[in-house]
Amino acid sequence: MPALPAFARYVVIGAGIHGLSTAMHLAQKLKAKGLSVGEGGARIVVLDKTGPGAGASGIACGVVRNNYFQPAMRELMAHSVSVWESDPDAYSYHPVGYMQISPEVMHAQVGTIYEQQQAIGYESVFIEGEGDSRQYMQGIFHDWQAQNITSVLHEKRGGYANNQASVQGLVNKAQALGVEIFAGVAVTGFRSANGTGAIAAVETTQGRIECEVVIVAVGPWVNTIWNMLDLPKTISVTGRDGKVHDGVRMWHYMALQEGTLGVDPNYQKTNAGLMPPVIHVDTDAPLYSDRDGRLITDALWGIYYKPDFHFGGVQGGAMPAVVERDPDDVRVDPYGPKSPEFVVTDNFADMWTSALAFCQKRFEGKHGVYKQEPSGGVGSFTPDNFPVFDRFRDNVYVIADSNHGYKMIGVGELVADELLGTPRALLEPFRFSRYAQGRLHPVSHSPFPWS
């Protein structure tokens, strides 16, 4: 591996979806201004303690959707979907569409999502009423049988992408533009510039790099880097009620619950013989085990799933599990399926396979082919579970997506503009100052923290 340079104008920490997308777009924009990128020009160095795709981006289910109750999230997602659509082959993107299938308690809120999608020109169809919803779903899958469903939002754009393949697509594009990616280099600290809060150099396991700008895109490891930057462990949040809540932890963790049913991915084709949209179902109908008939839950629950050749079956997940622990005590490494603590248990397998059977008859009795392999991984979340994209310490740009983010491939394009001095309105609602100012995003009735 070539030695680290002593100086780089831009040091990006983390080679996941955000670090790579930011580096690639930055290189593109610098070149468009007639500047050279690489040795002798503006050096953009990406450091990863393991390598590209070693974090959440490399294990993500890969769902790309617009469906968000928060207007700012929806507009941001529409921008990102355009980036996915700009080169589906390179990003291994499958534009099959996405469906949000909901119970009455979510009906009105999903209706507003539909209205606002029409307002921003994001193509979708909204079906209302129990009978019409069932008929619409059975027009796609003859064996549809989910209960307590009174609306269906069918987004015609979006779909999913293959995690490692899209990361590799970004690596190829970034390197072709002169971005230098160093694997196996961990950031261990920062050196402040004399007399200012700015960062003058990044300390790594392979030596020090002086720099002008640092971009932090470390996904679930954000708490560690946040601590190295001496940023506050707790903050004050002005709630929706106008009251100030002090001592709120900046970061908390949840464990993502995902797995794969080991059937042929073609098994879930539509009546027309096509690959289906990604399916997301929330419902308040009681869920009984497909194994033994026992009641699993009678509270609001949800799942998502899609046939996926990369995972080798029908892959998806359910609501995440809260990790009730101080963030400094959460062992993020070894990450993902290699973690001894944060992989899914048999409870998830029973719940998710039973939920599949609840939705479509073809999955009844299929729990036995659930793939008994480690899956899932932790994500780090902000106080309101929405992203923070902002500058800290004068020259450190933090991209902390609160685990929304594989779909947000376009954030790097927006951040690159901000690094070059052009503020982007789409990022404005995600500033850190919103907590103190009480400019919080609205909360939906969904059982998921990121809808």
Binding region for ligand FAD (CB under 6 A) = 13-19, 47-50, 54-57, 59-63, 186-187, 217-221, 256, 258, 376-377, 379, 401, 403-407
Alpha-carbon dihedral of residues 68, 72, 78, 84, nearest 10 degrees?
A: -90
CB 55 within 8 A of CB 221: yes
User: Would you say 334 or 368 has its CB closer to ligand FAD?
Assistant: 334
293 three-state secondary structure: coil
400 three-state secondary structure: strand
User: Would you say 54 or 314 has its CB closer to ligand FAD?
Assistant: 54
CB of 319 to ligand FAD, least distance (A): 12
Token digits of residue 211: 């720099």
User: Would you say 11 or 110 has its CB closer to ligand FAD?
Assistant: 11
CB of 442 to ligand FAD, least distance (A): 20
CB of 239 to ligand FAD, least distance (A): 25
User: Would you say 45 or 47 has its CB closer to ligand FAD?
Assistant: 47
Token digits of residue 409: 């491939």
Residue 196 has φ and ψ, to the nearest 5°, of: -130, 170
CB of 55 to ligand FAD, least distance (A): 2
User: Would you say 30 or 47 has its CB closer to ligand FAD?
Assistant: 47
Token digits of residue 21: 């997308």
CB of 259 to ligand FAD, least distance (A): 10
User: Would you say 16 or 134 has its CB closer to ligand FAD?
Assistant: 16
Q: How far apart are CA 297 and CA 283, in angstroms?
A: 11
CB of 337 to ligand FAD, least distance (A): 9
Q: How far apart are CA 161 and CA 148, in angstroms?
A: 30
Which residues, at least 6 apart from 337, have a Cβ–Cβ distance to it below 8 Å?
59, 343, 373, 374, 375, 376, 377
User: Would you say 302 or 405 has its CB closer to ligand FAD?
Assistant: 405
Token digits of residue 59: 């294990």
* Residue 214 CA, distance from chain mean position: 22
Strands (E) in 136-186, as ranges, are 151-155, 159-161, 180-183
292 three-state secondary structure: coil
CB of 108 to ligand FAD, least distance (A): 25
Q: How far apart are CA 269 and CA 306, in angstroms?
A: 10
CB of 342 to ligand FAD, least distance (A): 9
User: Would you say 133 or 402 has its CB closer to ligand FAD?
Assistant: 402
User: Would you say 83 or 127 has its CB closer to ligand FAD?
Assistant: 83
Q: The tokens 């500033």 sit on which residue? A: 431
CB of 330 to ligand FAD, least distance (A): 13
24 three-state secondary structure: helix
Residue 76 has φ and ψ, to the nearest 5°, of: -65, -40
**Closest among 311, 38, 309 to 179, alpha carbons compared:** 38
